[in-house]
Structure 1
């Protein structure tokens, strides 16, 4: 079944005349008749019936009409949106992101969106993952960028990539010179971590338990920036995503962790089955491409 079959069918169902329908879709009556027969053969049911000189839809044809018309409307709307003559996208996209993604990913994505569609307004909220989920449910956000939720959720999660978490210490720390470190070696080591209510902390606690380690959590902070700030000023370490450590910060060392390696999966969060405005879809496309590009750039640098 091809798109033209649907266009010819809808035209004939609305005109109920081969002459008028053929004129509407700019084909001959014989071509229209042939295409309708092809469609009926593919569906396996008659869609039209001739009664004298008149054409009427069958019961199957009448039932199929609503679906065919709706499909054509969606396709035509999509084509119109992509045509250059349609102009730039307009509207607003409301994004909720956790701190890690606001460091590099979000600014680059917003810059690309505004360069392509300068009339769009972008609203970025830096929020914990739980708050992002709540505001997606309430309709206060259009899209979220966070790590994969640990528990069941009725939101749709679209993974972008997997990333390893690393130990971050000052360059004066005893572990600063290590090329890699096993999770069990962090037993009784002074660490600053996220509070227990965060999914990242729950995942780290599971990793520690799996290897029988119990770190000395000397401080808990709800955002990454002050955690790294404390690492710069005190003989403690922290475990964060490698992407959360600003490249311009001097005096820090990142050490890969193994046995096990804590891994997080960033992704896009949506309200399941919620309608997405074109500007929101455009931003999601940019996020997908930018995330892949940043990961490729990171691998090439290693």
Structure 2
């Protein structure tokens, strides 16, 4: 077991997968010579060569469509969309082709590709480089969507995504790349399986990605007041682990869903609706959601801080939930 930064865990997962399977190739803008915009692919070109680590033109549509064709022809491409905001330019290949190929070919063809893309704010990158668009992709039948919150899951979920026979969107958070944690390269995560990041008895916090750390911090502050909050790290957004969430709500009888993405029509709405529909009798209070306001992400650091879902907002929502 090694102590690695989140970005290094991603890099190690790519290297281990490429070493284990010569069909795995990496492609995207600046992934080869530059080692990626966030250095997650550093060193791969030197180790595996230009036929397996490929710098592409600046065209998200071309990168994605090429990966779809490569996957259908027998490779296992891992492509990088430099910022999740630019996935808008890749939607035809991803949504209309990759996601639907298995269905349209009657199960005789699959598209084993992974789309790595960073989302999220906190870096004053502005409204075109800070969005969290994972709810768009979780809405598409045929796509799987995962979002690791720590280095171990960054490694384990990426290995699982590369092994998967169908297209997987692997969402990383820019602000987590420097996060350090223990990584066991022998552990594989399972897509669709959440983890209980902190056990509790008084309320359930459901979250993913960078919001997990925010929720754990808020839960720690409430523990000092004698309130024990259970924190569920979804890890996988499509499919998502209903059974773990249901079991937690059955124990705590209160639920708050938290994410950095805009609250309206978000992942939290789906989870809250499922709890309300299938676990209504377990609830002692209405399910609550907490997300970003319905507006573009501000460029100003001061305004972005007010826009963000932080531990103060999580605490305030939990206090309303417990009232």
Common topology (TM > 0.5)? no
* Greater Rg over alpha carbons, structure: 1
Which structure is higher in RCO with an 8 Å CA cutoff and minimum separation 6?
A: 1
For normalisation by structure 1, the TM-score amounts to 0.29
Q: Going by fraction, where is helix more abundant, 1 or 2?
A: 1
For normalisation by structure 2, the TM-score amounts to 0.28
